[in-house]
């Protein structure tokens, strides 16, 4: 049972306080918390669950905003953290991002949302589509509407019918003039490549994201051409379990608007689309570094937005790096980013240069880890293919759209 | 309310100073209050927004309460919401003005829009002003019967809120029975879930004094009810599912079919997108199958993959919470996770708290087949930029080596670490090599040749230095320059700050002496002399002991200091298996995160003041609001709990000393509030002070005027002087309390000011301390508070122990006194009563 939720800005200012039970939690707890996080150097490094002298604190950090929840009784910690994550998601969806100004400009909406999301310390409704029914987001359309109609209320006048609907995630009867449904396969490749160039771990984390704008009560069936490659699936509550168990078909009544239908993992991949070959030699206080990046196996689509970033070791006093393609930037915190973009046809991009070590050091003993970023539109690298999407009753003017993309998730290349 | 300390530190330009703006707002609101002009809602909305934004940044805007309420007559729902928000925040502080809001809230509860009905009802119940509870019953009753489920949902939670404000009103209105029938018959899942949550809380709090509630509470765990919920679980939202799963954990299945039925019903919950649901389901599975060993194993297999997926798909915070639980399971059944070790590889960007847990799990799952890969991976981290993780990973390598898998290769790796010439890597590795040699003396040859090459000058950390010195002493015969290295170290005795290192130096010099006497004799002499002159007690004692033992007989000394050693087979485990089981029982709770069973960290000392300041401040007689999910957290001031309370007190001292001055601010603030209240009381109530003139005079007498004129109840007892700095440790207190008979039991009344002053945490404790009576433990919940005190005679170490139970509703205190000297217990009781009667008087 949570007692209070605070929103704290990145400078430690309490932006918002929502008391949830009769036991007021004094704001001074935030000062204590902030002192703790300063003493850790970085609030990101502070444990998500800590015990203050009077309360258990749960915290998550999103875009510099800390969401802090307090409790004095034992409760499942993951529940508190999941809930805070949900709050952060809903807020950033409503406000179009999450930062100090947005929260301060829209604090009334934040209060309204929290009011519906949690009552008496117990989470209530966190389903975005239901919340949208109750509290209209402050978007451009509703702002325009309010100017035109003179009704500036951001509260929709419909009942919160989702609570009464027999499908808790779907409002009772949405109506669209054109019926559209989009399915996106969004995949992230997580990999670790060790210093010998071996692939230590390579797997895909994927999500099936949908945007459904269908009238009435549609019943959908989505099937894959090769469902057997999927592992560790997690489903949106709308997915029926039995059809998946028996013939690996996703059968569901979708929520309205955007949502995540399922997430999955595909393990033990053998290949990455891009290779990174770093080399480093050090002698007499200077290091020579050279990194090659190229296409290992062509996925058939253009690989875009290739970046390579790494942290220079602390013992490096200065660095002189240049590349034959793209740009290299070194920030004051010794983060070095090489933006490559697309790989040119005629040459292999190469970053090279020298690092000067602090005086007294002969050789480099701490090696950087390179983080690779890339994006490929139009393909799911796991090989997952959607076979078809069926609707039980076909509404008029139906449009179905399918897309896929893959990007690098946690892609570490070690040296 | 004080503005937050943080925002003072970072003043934002837009932040107003307070007063003048608030009074401006007040005038503006007043102007709008009566106006019916078109567009007035818009200007009201701007003003309301301003008020709320002041409230949000922590400026006290309670002074515009009246005006806000006056402006609240509106049909605009946003205005209404802002008004509810404001009223909810300040009603508690303005009970009289809150009466004004009742009217419009009650009207809104009958609005035709269910949303407004619901919101108004929620606000009405959130006022939490005890003398307004009578106005709640009607709207709640109709809210529970409302035909819109949104309103019913809110009404159910409202009943729980009412219960916490005034339990008796709630019970008298027979709300629990209504909730029960709603729970079993309502068509809306959220209403049912809220009923369950409310009833669980109400019945378990009632259960302590009502048999009926006790029965009802148990009926929630009956088979039909459990299945009623489990069969419908998919209709509930994710949070309500967690609630139901929590309930299912407590259910005792009748037979194995029952167990399998439940597991089949819940199977698909393991694939839910919400981690909290998955973890709650995992707990049900684990608890259900505890008695069936092979099924329990299968459960591990079944839950493994959902948990591993959760770890890698969520935010770092979620991963951490899940990893903590996974850690528990991995340690319990490492072989099940052995093939999945790659899941615990650290990614560069992960926060260090996640990496640390992953390292521990890599250590736990290592076995014959995967040790090579795991150790290779760990070695990568040793060159990590994050030094803390680098250290941690070296330790992990060592731990794996001690588990006896593939020791050969690991020793090679460790020795490679020593060649990295990084001071912290060398330091950690030395400590490990020492532990390894204690377990595998057969490796000494390889290790010593490398260790011998390390210059002691490069090692600064005491632990590492001590390890090196230990090896020098232990393997002096294999290291040609051992005596000379030791000699060098001993010559720099004065510069060695760590006592641990100096102790090791002494022992190493002795061991070296037994093996290579001629080379070491001089160094040993210097070491012993320096040791005997050392200011550190342990070093001094050990040096003296060695010296005398050597004087007595060198062979005896050798047998004492350097006996033939047996290799250590098992290093002592840090956590007992009993504790691990206890944590396992508390799966899906904070215990897992802290890796301690809840009784070790739940903090009663701090719950005390919380109840004081909040509950008593309301004059409400309701018991503590928290649920009984963890009974250990309720302070029942019986003797068994007292033991715990005392044990924890010491632990918490460190914690409470750490917190900054900012943290103590609220209590000071509230005490000043109370004292101003008390001044009012004192001024307005000559009658009350007249009721206790006797005892307050008695106090003056004891300390000033002498006993002869004292109208104390027992003038015959001799004057007792107490030691103001008496000390008694909690253990001794417990022992005495058990051993001594009760020498006196007395009842007396506490003056009303005293009862009022009890709201301030620690106030009674401080007050009694000023009378040389010290508190050793306290607790309880309104209306009964319990304190344990002790005192000592000034002249001799004779103790008095007292238990004092104060009932705030009857304003009476019951005192039990135990004393070392029975004869003087009457005198002590007099002093105690006098002091108590003085409590709360200015």
Task: Give me the CATH number covering residue B547.
Answer: 1.25.10
Of B390-399, B401-410, B554-563, the poorest mean pLDDT is in: B401-410
Q: Tell me the pLDDT of chain A (415 aa) as tens digits.
A: 788 999 988 888 888 888 888 777 888 888 888 888 877 765 456 788 888 878 888 988 888 888 999 988 878 888 899 999 999 988 888 888 888 888 888 888 888 888 888 888 888 888 877 787 777 776 544 444 444 444 444 444 444 444 444 456 676 667 788 888 999 999 999 888 888 888 888 889 899 999 888 888 888 999 999 888 888 788 888 888 888 888 889 998 888 888 888 888 888 788 888 889 988 888 877 888 899 998 888 878 888 899 999 888 878 888 888 888 889 888 888 888 999 888 888 888 999 888 888 877 777 777 888 899 999 998 888 888 888 888 888 887 888 889 899 999 888 888 7
Structural tokens at position A168: 């808790």
pLDDT of residue B12: 42
Q: State how far the Cα of B107 lies from the Cα of B85, in Å rounded to an integer.
A: 17
Q: How far apart are CA B183 and CA A381, in angstroms?
A: 49
Q: Which two tokens stand for residue B80?
A: 């209404």
Question: In 10 A of CB B182, how many CB atoms?
Answer: 22
**Which residues are CB-neighbours of B680 under 8 A, at least 6 positions away?**
none
Domains of chain A: 4-126 (3.30.450.60), 179-269+381-414 (2.60.40.1170), 274-377 (2.60.40.1170)
User: Hey, which of B136-150, B378-392, B476-490 has the most confident mean pLDDT?
Assistant: B136-150
Q: Do A13 and B12 touch (CB under 8 A)?
A: yes
Long-range contacts of B633-642 (CB under 8 A, 24+ apart): B633/A73, B633/A74, B633/B598, B633/B602, B633/B604, B633/B607, B634/B781, B635/B604, B635/B607, B635/B608, B635/B779, B635/B780, B635/B781, B637/B779, B637/B780, B637/B786, B639/B737, B641/B604, B641/B779, B642/B734, B642/B777, B642/B779, B642/B788
Burial class (CB in 10 A: 0-12, 13-18, 19+), B526: middle
The answer to whether the Cβ–Cβ distance between B6 and A31 falls below 8 Å is yes
pLDDT over 80 at B592, yes or no: no
Please give the radius of gyration of chain A, using alpha carbons only, rounded to the nearest integer. 25
Residue B33 in domain: no
Task: Kindly list the distances between the CA atom of residue A191 and the CA atoms of A45, A370, A410, in Å, as whole numbers in the listed order.
Answer: 23, 11, 6
Run of H or E including A110? helix A107-117
Q: Does B306 touch chain A (CB under 8 A)?
A: yes
Instruction: Spell out the residues 6+ positions from residue B663 whose beta carbon is closer than 8 angstroms to its own.
Output: A28, A29, A31, A32, A53
Q: With an 8 Å Cβ cutoff, are B626 and A368 in contact? A: no
How much of chain B, in percent, has pLDDT values that exceed 90? 2
Given a contact cutoff of 8 angstroms between Cβ atoms, the answer to whether B726 and B772 are in contact is yes
State how far residue A259 is from chain B, nearest Cα, in angstroms: 12
A369 contacts in B (CB within 8 Å)? 348, 384-385
> Is B796 inside any structural domain?
yes
Closest approach of chain B CAs to the CA of A179, in angstroms?
27
- The last residue of a domain, from among B562, B595, B630: B562
Give tens-digit pLDDT for A214-242: 888 888 999 999 888 888 788 888 888 88
Neighbours of B590 (CB within 10 A): 24
Look up residue B141 and give its two tokens: 């009753």
Domain count, chain B: 2
**CA of A164 vs chain B CAs: smallest distance (Å):** 6
Of the two residues B537 and B644, the one the predictor is more confident about is B537
DSSP string of B437-451? Answer: HHH-GGGHHHHHHHH
Q: What is the mean pLDDT of chain B?
A: 75
Provide the pLDDT confidence category of residue B782 given band limits of 50, 70 and 90: low
Instruction: Please check whether residue B485 lies inside any domain of the structure.
Output: yes
Residue B805 lies in a domain: yes
A380, A185 Cβ separation under 8 angstroms: yes
What's the pLDDT band for B778 if we cut at 50, 70, 90? Answer: confident
ipTM value: 0.76
Helix (H, G, I), strand (E, B) or coil at B673: helix
What are the residues whose beta carbons fall under 8 Å from the beta carbon of A288, sequence distance 6 or more? Answer: A280, A281, A282, A352, A353, A354
pLDDT confidence band for B385 (50 / 70 / 90): low
**Number of neighbours of residue B66 by Cβ within 10 angstroms:** 15
What SS3 class is residue A251?
strand
pLDDT in tens, B167-219: 888 888 888 888 999 888 888 888 999 999 999 888 888 888 888 888 888 88
Burial B113-146 (b: 16+ CB within 10 A, else e): ebbbbbbbbbbbbbbbbbebbebbbebbeebbeb
β-bridge pairing A398-414 and A179-193 = parallel
What per-residue confidence (pLDDT) applies to A52? 80
Q: Do B235 and A159 touch (CB under 8 A)?
A: no
CB B430, CB B423: distance < 8 Å: no
Q: How far is CA B173 from CA B52, B128, B141, B155, B180, in A?
A: 35, 17, 9, 14, 14
Burial zone of A51 (CB within 10 Å; 0-12 exposed, 13-18 middle, 19+ buried): middle
Q: Is B517 on the interface with A (CB under 8 A)?
A: no
Alpha carbon distance B661, B647 (integer Å):
25
**CB contacts, 8 Å: B238 with chain A:** 126, 237
Q: What is the predicted pLDDT for the residue at B155?
A: 92
Tell me: the pLDDT tens digits for B802-841? 888 887 777 778 888 888 877 788 888 888 888 887 777 7
Question: What pLDDT is recorded for position B574?
Answer: 54
Give B798: exposed, middle or buried? Use CB within 10 Å, 0-12, 13-18, 19+. Answer: middle
Whether residues B57 and A35 touch (CB distance < 8 A) is answered with: no
Last residue of a domain, one of B534, B562, B590: B562
| A54·B422 Cβ contact <8 A | no
Q: Mean of the pLDDT values across residues B623-646? A: 37
Distance CA B546, CA B376 (A): 45
Residue B174, domain member (yes or no): no
Q: How close, in Å, is residue B546 to chain A by CA atoms?
A: 43
Of A1, A125, A365, the CB nearest to B420: A365
Confirm if A356 and A185 have CB atoms less than 8 A apart: no
* Greatest mean pLDDT among A390-404, B70-84, B703-717: A390-404
- Which class for A396: exposed (0-12), middle (13-18), buried (19 or more C-beta within 10 A)? exposed
Q: What is the CATH number of the domain that holds B747?
A: 3.30.310.10
Whether residue B672 is predicted with pLDDT greater than 60 in this model: the reply is no
SS3 category, A276:
strand
DSSP string, A305-321: EEEEEEEPPTTEEEEEE
> Do the domain assignments include residue B666?
no
Q: Give, in order, the Cα–Cα distances in Å from A125 to each of A163, A254, B51, B700, B717.
A: 9, 17, 28, 62, 68
Q: Could you say which of B52, B629, B633 has the minimum Cβ distance to residue A108? A: B52
User: Residue A176: its pLDDT value, please?
Assistant: 80
Residue B703 pLDDT more than 50? no
Confidence (pLDDT) at A24: 79
Identify whether B529 is part of a domain. yes
For testing the chain B interface, which of A4, A14, A36, A79 should be mutated: the one with the most B CBs within 10 Å? A79
Which one, of B127, B120, B90, B116, lies nearest residue B106 by Cα?
Answer: B120
Q: Give the Å distances, CA to CA, from B382 to B201, B359, B390, B841.
A: 50, 12, 4, 65
Residue range of the domain that includes B527: 406-562
Q: Which residues in chain A are contacts of B92 at CB distance < 8 A?
A: 24
Q: What is the pTM of this model?
A: 0.68
How far is it, in rounded angstroms, from Cα B842 to Cα B838?
9
Residue B522 lies in a domain: yes
Residues 355-414 of B with CB under 8 A from A: 376-377, 380, 383-385
**What is the arrangement of strands in the sheet containing B774-781, beginning at the earlier edge strand?**
B744-749, B812-819, B799-807, B784-792, B774-781
Cα separation, B786 vs B798, whole angstroms: 23
Alpha-helical regions (H) of B221-289: 223-231, 238-250, 256-266, 275-288
- Looking at B562, B578, B609, the residue that finishes a domain is B562
Tokens representing B743 are 């020498």
Query: What is the per-residue pLDDT across A81-97, written as a single tens digit (0 to 9) for each?
Result: 999 999 998 888 888 88
pLDDT tens-place string over residues B262-280: 888 888 888 888 889 999 9
Sequence-ordered list of residues with C-beta below 8 angstroms from that of B700, at least 6 positions apart, any chain: none
pLDDT average, residue stretch B375-403: 81
């Amino acid at each position: 049972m949570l007692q209070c939720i605070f929103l704290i800005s990145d400078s430690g200012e309490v932006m918002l306080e929502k008391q949830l039970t009769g036991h007021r939690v004094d704001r001074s707890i935030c000062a204590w918390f902030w002192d703790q996080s300063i003493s850790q150097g970085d609030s990101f490094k502070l444990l998500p669950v800590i015990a203050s002298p009077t309360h258990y604190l749960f915290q998550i950090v999103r875009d510099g905003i800390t969401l802090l929840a307090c409790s004095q009784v034992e409760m499942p910690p993951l529940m508190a953290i999941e809930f805070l994550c949900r709050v952060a998601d809903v807020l950033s969806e409503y406000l179009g991002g999450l930062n100090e100004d947005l929260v301060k400009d829209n604090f009334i909406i934040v209060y309204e949302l929290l009011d519906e999301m949690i009552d008496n310390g117990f989470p209530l409704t966190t389903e975005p589509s239901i919340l949208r029914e109750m509290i209209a987001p402050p978007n451009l359309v509703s702002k325009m509407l309010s100017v035109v109609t003179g009704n500036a209320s951001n509260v929709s006048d419909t009942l919160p019918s989702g609570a009464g609907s027999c499908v808790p995630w779907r409002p009772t009867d949405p109506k669209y003039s054109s019926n559209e449904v989009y399915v996106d396969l969004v995949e992230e490749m997580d990999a670790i490549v060790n210093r010998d160039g071996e692939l230590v771990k390579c797997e895909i984390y994927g999500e099936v994201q949908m945007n459904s704008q269908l009238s009435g009560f549609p019943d959908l069936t989505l099937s894959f051409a090769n469902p057997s490659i999927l592992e560790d699936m997690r489903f949106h509550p709308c997915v029926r379990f039995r059809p998946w168990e028996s013939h690996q078909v996703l059968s569901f009544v979708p929520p309205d608007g955007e949502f995540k239908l399922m997430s999955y993992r595909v393990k033990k991949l053998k290949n990455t689309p891009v290779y990174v070959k770093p080399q480093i030699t050090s002698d007499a206080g200077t290091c020579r570094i050279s990194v090659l990046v190229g296409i290992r196996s062509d996925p058939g689509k253009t690989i875009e937005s290739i970046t390579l970033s790494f942290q220079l070791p602390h013992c490096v006093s200065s660095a002189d790096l240049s590349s034959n393609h793209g740009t290299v930037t070194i920030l004051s915190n010794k983060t070095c980013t090489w933006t490559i973009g697309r790989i040119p046809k005629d040459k292999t991009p190469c970053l090279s240069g020298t690092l000067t070590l602090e005086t007294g050091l002969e050789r480099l003993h701490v090696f950087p880890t390179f983080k690779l970023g890339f994006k490929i539109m139009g393909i799911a690298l796991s090989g997952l293919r959607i076979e078809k999407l069926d609707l039980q009753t076909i509404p008029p003017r139906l449009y179905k759209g399918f897309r896929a993309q893959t990007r690098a998730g946690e892609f570490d290349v070690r040296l | 309310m004080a503005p937050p300390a943080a925002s003072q530190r970072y003043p934002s330009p837009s932040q107003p100073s307070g007063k003048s703006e608030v009074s401006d707002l007040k005038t503006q609101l007043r102007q709008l209050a009566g106006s019916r002009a078109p567009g007035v809602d818009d200007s009201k909305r701007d003003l309301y927004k301003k008020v709320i934004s002041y409230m949000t940044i922590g400026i006290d805007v309670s002074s515009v309460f009246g005006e806000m309420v006056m402006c609240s007559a509106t049909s605009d729902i946003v205005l209404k919401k802002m008004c509810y928000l404001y009223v909810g925040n300040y009603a508690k502080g303005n009970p009289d003005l809150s009466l004004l809001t009742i009217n419009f809230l009650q009207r809104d509860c009958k609005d035709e829009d269910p949303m407004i009905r619901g919101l108004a009802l929620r606000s009405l119940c959130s006022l939490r002003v005890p003398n307004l509870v009578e106005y709640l019953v009607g709207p709640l009753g109709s809210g529970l019967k409302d035909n819109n489920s949104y309103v019913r949902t809110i009404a159910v939670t409202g009943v729980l809120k009412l219960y916490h404000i005034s339990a008796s009103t709630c019970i008298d209105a027979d709300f629990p029975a209504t909730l029960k029938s709603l729970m079993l018959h309502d068509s809306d899942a959220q209403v049912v879930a809220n009923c369950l949550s409310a009833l669980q809380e109400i019945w378990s709090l009632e259960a302590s004094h009502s048999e009926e509630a006790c029965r009802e509470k148990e009926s929630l765990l009956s088979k039909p009810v459990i299945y009623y919920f489990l069969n419908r679980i998919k209709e509930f939202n994710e949070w309500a599912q967690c609630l139901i799963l929590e309930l299912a954990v407590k259910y005792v299945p009748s037979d194995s079919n029952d167990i399998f039925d439940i597991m089949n019903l819940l199977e698909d919950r393991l694939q839910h997108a919400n981690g909290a649901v998955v973890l709650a389901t995992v707990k049900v599975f684990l608890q259900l199958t505890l008695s069936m060993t092979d099924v329990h194993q299968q459960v591990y297999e079944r839950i493994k993959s959902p948990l591993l997926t959760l770890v890698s798909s969520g935010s770092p915070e979620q991963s951490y919470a899940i990893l903590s639980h996974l850690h528990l399971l991995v340690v319990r059944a490492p072989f099940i996770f052995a093939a999945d070790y790659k899941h615990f590889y650290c990614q560069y960007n992960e926060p260090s708290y996640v990496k640390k847990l992953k390292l521990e799990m890599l250590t736990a799952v290592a076995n014959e087949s995967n040790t090579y890969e795991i150790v290779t991976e760990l070695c990568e981290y040793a060159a990590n930029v994050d030094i803390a993780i680098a250290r941690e990973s070296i330790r992990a390598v060592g731990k794996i080596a001690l588990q006896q898998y593939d020791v050969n290769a690991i020793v090679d790796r460790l020795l490679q670490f020593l060649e990295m010439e990084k001071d912290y890597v060398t330091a950690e590795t030395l400590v490990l090599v020492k532990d390894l040699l204690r377990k595998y003396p057969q490796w000494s040859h390889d290790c010593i040749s490398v260790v011998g090459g390390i210059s002691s000058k490069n090692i600064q950390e005491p632990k590492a230095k001590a390890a090196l010195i230990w090896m020098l002493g232990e393997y002096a015969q294999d290291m040609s320059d051992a005596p000379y290295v030791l000699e060098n170290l001993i010559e720099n005795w004065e510069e060695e700050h760590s006592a641990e290192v100096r102790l090791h130096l002494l022992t190493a010099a002795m061991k070296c002496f037994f093996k290579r006497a001629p080379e070491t004799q001089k160094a040993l002499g210097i070491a012993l002399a320096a040791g005997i002159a050392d200011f550190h007690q342990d070093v001094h004692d050990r040096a003296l002991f060695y010296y005398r033992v050597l004087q007595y007989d060198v062979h005896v000394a050798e047998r004492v200091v350097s006996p033939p050693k047996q290799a250590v087979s098992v290093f002592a485990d840090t956590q007992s298996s009993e504790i691990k089981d206890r944590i396992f029982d508390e799966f899906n709770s904070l215990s897992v995160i802290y890796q301690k069973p809840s009784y070790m960290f739940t903090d009663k000392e701090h719950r005390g003041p919380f109840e004081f300041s909040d509950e008593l401040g309301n004059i409400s007689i309701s018991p503590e609001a928290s649920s009984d999910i963890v009974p250990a957290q309720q302070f029942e001031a019986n003797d068994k709990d007292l033991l715990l309370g005392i044990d924890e007190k010491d632990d918490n001292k460190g914690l409470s000393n750490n917190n900054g001055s900012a943290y103590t601010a609220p209590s000071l603030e509230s005490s000043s509030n109370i004292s101003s209240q008390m001044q009012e009381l004192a001024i307005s109530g000559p009658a009350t002070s007249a009721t206790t003139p006797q005892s307050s005079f008695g106090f003056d007498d004891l300390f000033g005027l002498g006993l002869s004129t004292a109208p104390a109840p027992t003038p015959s007892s001799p004057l007792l002087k107490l030691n103001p700095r008496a000390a008694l440790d909690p253990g001794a207190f417990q022992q005495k309390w058990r051993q001594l008979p009760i020498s006196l039991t007395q009842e007396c009344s506490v003056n009303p000011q005293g009862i009022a002053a009890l709201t301030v945490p620690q106030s009674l404790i401080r007050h009694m301390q000023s009378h040389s009576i010290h508190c050793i433990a306290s607790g309880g919940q309104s209306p009964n508070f319990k304190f344990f005190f002790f005192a000592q005679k000034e002249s001799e170490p004779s103790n008095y122990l007292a238990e004092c139970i104060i009932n705030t509703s009857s304003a009476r205190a019951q005192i039990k006194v135990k004393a070392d000297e029975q004869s003087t217990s009457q005198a002590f009781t007099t002093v105690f009563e006098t002091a108590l009667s003085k409590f709360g008087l200015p």
